[in-house]
Amino acid sequence: MESYDVIVVGAGPGGSTAAAYLGRSGFSVLLLDKAKFPRDKICGDAVSGKSMNVIKEFGLEEEIRKDPRHGSIFGVAFSGTNGEIVEIPFAAAKEKGRPPGYTLPRIATDNILFQNAKKYAKVKEGFAVSDVIFEDGYAVGVKGRDTVSGKDEEYRAKMIVGADGVGSIVANKAGQGALPPEHACIALRAYYEGIEGMTNNIEIHFVKEAMPGYFWIFPIGEGKANVGLGILMKDVQEKKMNLPLLLEKIIKENKIFAPRFANSKRVSPVQSWTLPFGSKIRKSHGNGWVLVGDSASLVDPFSGEGVGNATTSAKIAAKIIAGALKENNFSEEYLSQYQVEMEAALKPELQTSYMLQKLGRQEWLLNFIIGKAHKSEKVRETLSAMLGSEEAKKEFASPLFYVKMLFA
């Protein structure tokens, strides 16, 4: 039976990042994925600044820029339920000749990260993990099936990384429970061509029909756009919402969007997926195992972004696992350093976003802020600075901010 220092289950952004860092540090790594790359992932395709950190560290930014499917993003346009729109440019540190943000279909982004991981780790595509092997309370390997040969196989390692997304087998076998519907979101995505009025902004629209969720239009390359809708799972269940019908209604009947979509063409199926929100982070470590990215439930509960948190958590996990391998200590106690460091890095922002998600449910408040920003350049500048800095974003939580807005 083949044996490794580390087995990484799932080769999305989280798994490919963990495998690349660990392999680059000289450890033997087996990276497993049930899919064959390049593979699609239902997503909004926004590549945030946080996602860019790991991409830049491995020198992969040019791979994005040279892909004709990418979009260069300079800001965000918000609209409230009354239809008022405000455009906020990204104030994030501008590098000469570089846009502050990108979009790129995940079929491309994930392949860039996967091909990078292949330089440092042994990979096996088309291998669906079905079980985690535990011995004396420690995770020591995985079982699964080679989907091409149909053969069942087992692999062993000192450490198992669960990077297998929202339906994580590793989390499940390690006893981590189901997603609470108040901490998860259901989202739909489809690609369109020929939408009128596209700019270099990603667009987030709080339309009446979809409240308390939002409708998005994200420009990508080649004249296309990623269009979608995301709503808290609890609301979808309680209100028995039919999201595909809702998306169609917005596109065909909403008085602002129907004209923009009148000459458009949908060029992909409408597909849905679940986002595990980091308003409730999972216990992400135990004897011989850790979880990263969606399997640890780390998606931003306001923006829906999860790629940056997947790569950030994977980088931290790789550092702690490297220490565990050097000290030959794979105990839950040792690996708790991962949970501590990961939460220190991500939790403050996740909590601010959770608070924003709750405020966003107040239609009048959303319309009030968007209306103020629409009228005042100073307010737009303030919001731009707040969106660009984790520290400044916390101001959203302060009642003083809203009092200031009254007089802005």
Ligand X SMILES: Cc1cc2nc3c(=O)[nH]c(=O)nc-3n(C[C@H](O)[C@H](O)[C@H](O)COP(=O)(O)OP(=O)(O)OC[C@H]3O[C@@H](n4cnc5c(N)ncnc54)[C@H](O)[C@@H]3O)c2cc1C
Residue 162 within binding range of ligand X, rule CB under 6 A: no
Binding segment (CB under 6 A) for ligand X, from list 29-37, 246-254, 320-328, 369-377? 29-37
Pattern 255-294, ligand X, x by CB under 6 A: ------------------x-x-----------------xx
Please tell me the distance from the alpha carbon of residue 85 to that of residue 99, in angstroms, as a whole number. 22
Axis-axis angle for helices 106-118, 13-24 (nearest 10): 20
Instruction: Please check whether residue 279 is in contact with residue 183, taking contact to mean a CB–CB distance below 8 angstroms.
Output: yes
Overall residue count recorded for the chain in this entry: 408
Q: How far is the CB of 375 from ligand X (least distance, A)?
A: 29
Of positions 23, 29, 44, 387, contacts ligand X by CB under 6 A: 44
Residue 41 within binding range of ligand X, rule CB under 6 A: yes
The residue (of 146 and 395) whose beta carbon lies closer to ligand X is: 146
Place of tokens 């003083």: 400
3-state helix, strand, coil in the chain (%, to 5): 40, 25, 35
The DSSP code sequence of 34-78 is SS-SS----S--EE-HHHHHHHHHTT-HHHHHT-TT-EEE-EEEE
Q: Give, rounded to a whole angstrom, the gap between the first and last alpha carbons of the chain.
A: 68
Q: How far is the CB of 39 from ligand X (least distance, A)?
A: 6
Residue 20 within binding range of ligand X, rule CB under 6 A: no
Residue 184 within binding range of ligand X, rule CB under 6 A: no
Residue 14 within binding range of ligand X, rule CB under 6 A: yes
Coil vs helix vs strand at 203: strand
Q: How far is the CB of 374 from ligand X (least distance, A)?
A: 25
Residue 15 within binding range of ligand X, rule CB under 6 A: yes
The residue (of 19 and 379) whose beta carbon lies closer to ligand X is: 19
Residue 22 within binding range of ligand X, rule CB under 6 A: no
Please tell me the distance from the alpha carbon of residue 16 to that of residue 54, in angstroms, as a whole number. 11
Coil vs helix vs strand at 144: strand
- Footprint of ligand X on residues 99-128 (CB under 6 A)? 128
Q: How far is the CB of 313 from ligand X (least distance, A)?
A: 8
In 3D, which of 167, 48, 195 has the Cα closest to residue 109?
48
Residue 405 within binding range of ligand X, rule CB under 6 A: no
Residue 304 within binding range of ligand X, rule CB under 6 A: yes
Binding site for ligand X (CB under 6 A): 9-15, 32-35, 41-46, 48, 51, 128-129, 163-165, 169, 187, 189, 228, 273, 275, 293-294, 299, 304-308, 310
